[in-house]
Amino acid sequence: MSGSTKITPAKRTANVTYAVRDVVVLAQQVAATGREMLYLNIGDPNLFDFATPDHVVDATAKAMRDNRNGYAPSSGIPDAIKAIRHDAERNGITNIQDIFVTTGASEAIEVCMSALVNAGENVLTPTPGYPLYTAVLAKLEAQEVPYYLDESNGWQPDIEDIASKINSKTRAIVLINPNNPTGSVCDRATLLGILELARKHNLMIFADEIYDKLILDGGEHISIASLDPQQPVITFNGLSKAYVAPGFRIGWGVVSGDKARVGDYVEAINKLLRARLSANHPEQYAIAPALDGDQSHLTVIKEKLSRRRDISVEMLNAIPGVSCVAPTGAFYAFPKLTIEMADEKFVQELIKATGVVTVHGSGFGQRPETKHLRIVFLPPEETLKKAYGLIGEFIGQFATVDV
């Protein structure tokens, strides 16, 4: 009977994976057995001892009570756009051509890629890097061309590797700074090297800077767009991380660069924004209070993260077969494993044996023949210490298993 024929999914979905969430399925199964679970896998600060600042919550609640619950302008409400512009300018970004608010920074990334990249063209993405880019490019039937970050150089992008991978079908370079999953922060020389390549080959730069306010050790974050006002760059950011509001789903994009070069592209972006109506409306009223208001919560967050980073690096590096470059931004570490077991298998067995949930490095990309874990060091110090103790015991038992 024709009515019993299976509905087949589109081929473009075949290569869409998301390692961060995929491990949760196994973790839920193990949790159902009653085992205590220690979650070091998802970068959601609200799951731990971090809270959305009161003035950010209050602004959203007031907007809801004031019945700001209809559709918003497709590019965002004026007060939000103004605050985003001021924040970008404080970061040294000038020659701004457009600003738009989206349903999380993820939507901004997807819209901007969709407006630029044709099927068969390619985009250079960092490896290790955030798997959203892989999923979006797969959906667009475009090619992802990974470039490597250099673990021996603090996970800085390898400029020579980037240069070697640019070809006639390359449309853009993705830069995640600070990086997820390594926690590295790009230095000025690296950023200038990327800019030089983008200028030479007429490429867009997609600058994912969602963790720009979470720089540890008093370090400096440099927005790549601030170093060349004429270079076409889209800088992505949002409320999710620094303002502890990932569930608000509020992000944005700031387009900067030569107006004559980006004008048609900006209009294409706005066509897609209009087609999807608008981002969440009442939550947009939190943007100006967040960016222009009290920032004292950031001091508290960074103090906690610095202590938890230090514990993580010290305890991980003390485990035989593990080495960890100290992250300088965000709240991720990407320790290297010297083991025979495949890292995905390692993560699965670790969950089953200990209840410690991490994410396999292969889910973010890594150099061939290397194995890593992504660890989120948001949990309280005692949770981290317990988890690292269990990881050490587990590696001592299973590190020589060849799968």
Residue 1 lies in a domain: no
From first to last of its 403 residues, the chain has per-residue pLDDT tens of 456 899 999 888 887 777 677 789 999 999 999 999 999 999 999 999 999 999 999 999 999 999 999 999 999 999 999 999 999 999 999 999 999 999 999 999 999 999 999 999 999 999 999 999 999 999 999 999 999 999 999 999 999 999 999 999 999 999 999 999 999 999 999 999 999 999 999 999 999 999 999 999 999 999 999 999 999 999 999 999 999 999 999 999 999 999 999 999 999 999 999 999 999 999 999 999 999 999 999 999 999 999 999 999 999 999 999 999 999 999 999 999 999 889 999 999 999 999 999 999 999 999 999 999 999 999 999 999 999 999 999 998 864 544 3
| CATH code at position 205 | 3.40.640.10
183 burial via Cβ count (<10 Å: 0-12, 13-18, 19+):
buried
Determine the angle formed by the axes of helices 296-317 and 381-398, rounding to 10 degrees. 20
- Same domain? 26 vs 70: no
Which of 292, 308, 335 delimits the end of a domain? 292
Q: Decide if 2 is inside a domain.
A: no
pTM of the complete model? 0.95
Number of domains in the chain: 2
Pairwise CA distance, residues 257 & 93, whole Å = 9
Question: Are 311 and 163 in the same domain?
Answer: no
Question: Are residues 344 and 286 both part of a single domain?
Answer: no
Same domain, 129 and 92: yes
| 126, 195: one domain | yes
Handedness of CA 129, 131, 136, 141 (dihedral sign): positive
Which of 231, 280, 288, 222 has the alpha carbon at shortest distance from 255? Answer: 231
The length of the chain in residues reads 403
- What does the block give as tokens for 9? 């999914």
Closest to 377 measured CA to CA, from 392, 356, 393: 356
166 closest CA partner among 145, 150, 196: 145
Whole domain around residue 22: which residue ranges?
A: 8-51+296-398
Same domain? For 177 and 213 the reply is: yes
Question: Which of 258, 292, 326 is the endpoint of a domain?
Answer: 292
Residue 186 and residue 284 in one domain: yes
